Amino acid sequence: MSDTPNADPRVDLAHKRTTLANYRTSLALDRTTLAWIRTNLTMGTFGLGMIGFFRSLSEKEQTPEAERLHQAAIQFGELLVLMGIVATVLAGASHWNTLRRMKRGELPNAYGWPLRITIALAVAVLGAAGLWRMHR
């Protein structure tokens, strides 16, 4: 047996497995980012749908109560669109940052307060605020 580290076939196998693990991690990161984009597009599309639907209803029904409800729903739709845009930008920045860390040979950063929790809380707060505003 030779004293060179590459003489042992296990070393080459370990390097190959490490390369494949990095590739799988990269693909998983891509899938996660695509899932974020899909979710954010859905959120924005739902917001645009709310805006269009309640604008058309507000043109048909002219009572002050209906107008107040319609305006609250339109504002909620606008906030959903805005949240979708912001979340997409944040997901893209997170993806870019993680790719840069991986290229430097560092582990992906596990955030203490992930983006998914932030967005979920923001949607919950917006929903609660929208309900409160509609029923006050």
CA distance 117 to 91: 13
Question: Cα 73–75–77 angle (5° rounding)?
Answer: 70
Cα-based distances in Å from 20 to 7, 78, 129: 21, 43, 47
Residues 5-34 have pLDDT tens digits of 557 778 777 777 777 888 888 888 889 889
Q: Give the number of domains in the chain.
A: 1
pLDDT at 29: 86
pLDDT at 1: 46
pLDDT at 42: 93
Q: Which domain holds residue 98?
A: 5-134
CA distance 130 to 118: 18
CA distance 57 to 79: 19
Instruction: Kindly report the pTM of this predicted structure.
Output: 0.70
Axis-axis angle for helices 115-134, 64-103 (nearest 10): 180
pLDDT score of 68 more than 60? yes
> Which has more confidence, 60 or 84?
84
Assign 22 to helix, strand or coil. Answer: helix
Six-digit token string for 3: 């004293």
Residues 79-126 have pLDDT tens digits of 889 988 988 898 888 888 888 888 888 777 666 567 777 777 887 887
In 10 A of CB 119, how many CB atoms? 20
> Which has more confidence, 111 or 2?
111
Question: Cα 62–63–68 angle (5° rounding)?
Answer: 100
Residues 29-59 have pLDDT tens digits of 889 889 989 998 999 999 999 888 888 887 7
